[in-house]
Amino acid sequence: MTSSRLLPTLLAVLGATFSPHLSTAADAPIDLGSRRELFVDEFLIAQKTNLELRLHSPVPKEVVLTRDAPWEGSGSDFETIIRDGDVFRMWYMGMELTNKDGTKLMFNPAKPDERRDSVVCYAESRDGIHWTKPELGLFEFNGSKKNNIVWAVPKLDNFTPFKDANPDARPDEKYKAVSEGPGGLYGLKSADGIHWTRISEKPIITRGKFDTQNNAFWDPIRKHYWCYIRSFHGPDGKITNDTKTGVRDVQVATSKDFLNWTETEILSYPNSRDEALYTNAIQPYYRAPHLFVGFPGRYIDRPFSAAAMRDLPDSAHRQARMKFSPRYGTVITDALFMTSRDGRSFNRWGEAFLRPGPQRKDNWVYGDGFISLGMFESPAEDPTAEPELTLYAHDDHWKLPTRVRRYTIRIDGFVSLNAKLSGGEMISKPITFSGRKLTFNFATSAAGSIRVELQGANGKALPGYSLAECDELFGDTLNRTVSWGDRSDLSALAGKPVRLKLVLSDADLYSLKFEP
C-alpha cells in the first residue's frame, strides 16, 4: 500500500481519535517541533515496562595539559573551554594550595593577607588535544611578564568566561566573565578573550558563597542571562549563610542586561537525596539548547578511618595537609550528572557520572571529578567512525604539577533508554511534531533491535505505522531514519497528536528528532 493510498484513512483515524472534546489539560500533547529530545528523564514517557533509564560514564583519554609553571601552582583548576571557529580556547585558575610535601598551606582562607594571589591563565589548541600556553606579556609574576596570565587582581579566587551569544552585545563585550571580588561576584568584559576589564566597580551579585567556578551564559530561547553560583542551604532547604551546618549547594539568578540580576534562589532536585555539591558546570546542551546539562562536583566528607586513609594514594601528603584542616584529607569528590528543562529544577542522578577512578599516585582527593565547563564534538579514534563528545576534568590536586585530562562520551550519550535482551516497551505521552521523518540515536547488540509504532490516543496503531510494519532498527549510529515498509515520510502527521510505542531488545536509545 502506498503513502497516497494510506492518507485518507490515516486522516480519518486522526480526526476521530483526537477530537477536542476527548482531550484534557493533562493529555495536552507536547509540541516537539523539530527539536531533539534526549532520554535523560521521564519527560516523554507515559509508561514503560522492563526498561530503565541508564546513566553512562565518559571514557578517560590522554592528558592534554600539564600545569607545571610556578604561577599555575598546586591548585590549578576551574577550566572553561570554548570553541571559537578553528581555535579551542581554555581559561583556568593558577593558585597554590600546599607545597610539595604538604607541610605548608599556601592558600589559607583564615589568613587571606598571607596567601599568594591567584591568577587566570590561558591556553589554545587546534584540535582540543595538543595545547599551547602563549606568552602574553600582560601581567607580571615574580618580576617577569613571560607567562600566559590574562587576569590578575588581589585576592582573586575564580574566573569563568563565556562568549556572549546575545545579539545586542556590544563589540567590546563579545566575551564576558564572572569572578569573585570584594563583596560579591563581579562582571567582566573583553573584545578578544585576552584583554579584560571590569564592567563596573561594584559586584553584580552579592548574595552567595562565591569561592568556586560560578558561571553565566546567555539563553537565546528565554532571552536572558543565567548565573549559577555556589551557595549553602539549611535544614529548611533555603539559602543560609551558616557554612558550618549548612549544606553546599547551587543557586541561580537571571538578568536581561548582565548588570541587574534577580534575587538568587536555590536549585531544587525532586526525588534526589540531599547531597553537598561544589562546582556545577551547568550549560545548555548544544544539540538541544532548551535542555540544560550539569556536572556538579559531589563533596563527600567521610568519617575518619586511619586504615582507609592509609590505604588511599599518597597517605603521607594526605596526613600532612590534614594537620591544617581534617577535611583536606577526609573529603573525597566525584562528578554527578543532572538536567533541567526550566533552569531551576534539576533531575539529578545519585550514581557518579565520573568516579575518581583506579587508585594511582595522586588521586582520590578533594578536587577529583571537577568537570571543566564546555564540551565539543571531536573525531573518533577510527576515522571511519562517527564523532564523539570531548569533555575535560583535571587530574591531581594539592601538588604541582596538576594536569587536565580529556574524556570522551557518545554524542547525546549521557543517559539511554535501555532494554535487556528479553525486551521492554514504552508508550510516549501525546506529542505533536513538525518535519517529515523520525530519526534515532541508538545502539543495539547483534541480536538486539528497536521497533516503533505510531498510535492514536486510543492506543491503536495508525494505518501503515504498526509494529508489524516497522522496519527493524539494529546497529549503532547517531542518526537513523525510522521506516515502515520502506516508508519514512511523516508529513501527513505533522501537527497532529500521536503517541510513540517503542519496543526495544538489548538496545540503548539516546535521543530522537523529527527532521525536516
pLDDT digits (tens, 9 = 90+) for 31-61: 999 999 999 999 999 999 999 999 999 999 9
For 245-262, the pLDDT digits (tens) are 999 999 999 999 999 999
Band of pLDDT at residue 121, cut at 50, 70 and 90:
very high
Q: What is the mean pLDDT of residues 4-33?
A: 51
Dump the DSSP string for 409-474.
E-TTTTEEEEE-TT-EEEEEPPEEE-SSEEEEEEEEEEEEEEEEEEE-TTSPBPTT-STTTBPPB-
What lies within 8 Å, CB to CB, of 211 at 6+ separation is 109, 157, 158, 180, 230
Domains of the chain and any CATH numbers: 3-56+415-515 (2.60.120.260), 59-409 (2.115.10.20)
Rounded distance between C-alpha atoms, residue 37 and residue 287, angstroms: 9
Residue 9 has pLDDT above 50, yes or no: no
290 contacts 35 by C-beta, under 8 angstroms: yes
For residue 367, what is the enclosing H or E element? none
- In the block, residue with C-alpha cell 596567601: 115
Residue 113 has pLDDT above 70, yes or no: no
For 319-373, the pLDDT digits (tens) are 999 999 999 999 999 999 999 999 999 999 999 999 999 999 899 999 999 999 9
Return the higher-pLDDT residue of 113 and 65.
65
What lies within 8 Å, CB to CB, of 227 at 6+ separation is 178, 185, 205, 214, 215, 216, 252, 253, 254, 255, 261
For 75-90, the pLDDT digits (tens) are 999 999 999 999 999 9
Peptide bond into 401 cis (omega under 30): yes
Q: What pLDDT, on a 0 to 100 scale, did the predictor assign at position 319?
A: 94
Nearest Cα to Cα of residue 205 among 190, 183, 224, 222: 183
Nearest Cα to Cα of residue 481 among 515, 446, 447: 515
The dihedral through the CA atoms of 224, 43, 29, 473 has a sign that is positive
**Residue 290 backbone dihedrals phi, psi, to 5 degrees:** -75, -15
| Three-class DSSP category at 475 | coil
Return the higher-pLDDT residue of 3 and 466.
466
DSSP state of 222: T
Q: What pLDDT, on a 0 to 100 scale, did the predictor assign at position 17?
A: 35
452 contacts 470 by C-beta, under 8 angstroms: yes
Bridge partners (DSSP) listed for residue 48:
426
Band of pLDDT at residue 110, cut at 50, 70 and 90:
low
Rounded distance between C-alpha atoms, residue 301 and residue 278, angstroms: 12
| Three-class DSSP category at 391 | strand
- Give the angle 293-426-57 at the CA atoms, nearest 5°: 35
What lies within 8 Å, CB to CB, of 505 at 6+ separation is 419, 420, 421, 422, 423, 424, 444, 447, 448, 449, 450
For 266-300, the pLDDT digits (tens) are 999 998 999 999 999 999 999 999 999 999 999 99
Query: Judging by beta carbons within 10 Å of its beta carbon (0-12, 13-18, 19+), is residue 167 exposed, middle or buried?
Result: exposed
Greatest Cα pair distance in the chain: 82
| Three-class DSSP category at 132 | strand
**Cross-sheet strand order for the sheet of 376-378:** 59-67, 402-409, 388-395, 376-378
Question: Alpha-carbon dihedral of residues 134, 136, 139, 140, nearest 10 degrees?
Answer: 70
Please state the separation of Cα 79 from the chain's center in Å: 13
Q: What pLDDT, on a 0 to 100 scale, did the predictor assign at position 8?
A: 38
12 contacts 412 by C-beta, under 8 angstroms: no
- In the block, residue with C-alpha cell 510494519: 469
33 contacts 414 by C-beta, under 8 angstroms: no
Rounded distance between C-alpha atoms, residue 318 and residue 328, angstroms: 7
Rounded distance between C-alpha atoms, residue 281 and residue 81, angstroms: 11
Phi-psi region of 182 (alpha: psi -120 to 50; beta: other; left: phi over 0): beta
Q: What pLDDT, on a 0 to 100 scale, did the predictor assign at position 26?
A: 54
Please state the separation of Cα 100 from the chain's center in Å: 33
| Three-class DSSP category at 49 | strand
507 contacts 448 by C-beta, under 8 angstroms: yes
Give pTM, 2 decimals. Answer: 0.93
For the record, the C-alpha cell of 479 comes out as 542518526
Kindly report the average pLDDT of the chain as a whole number: 93
CA-only gyration radius of the chain, Å: 25
For the record, the C-alpha cell of 169 comes out as 552585545
219 contacts 226 by C-beta, under 8 angstroms: yes
For 132-145, the pLDDT digits (tens) are 999 999 999 999 99
Q: How far is CA 354 from CA 48, 66, 296, in A?
A: 27, 21, 10
- Give the angle 107-110-116 at the CA atoms, nearest 5°: 30
Band of pLDDT at residue 109, cut at 50, 70 and 90:
low
Residue 23 has pLDDT above 90, yes or no: no
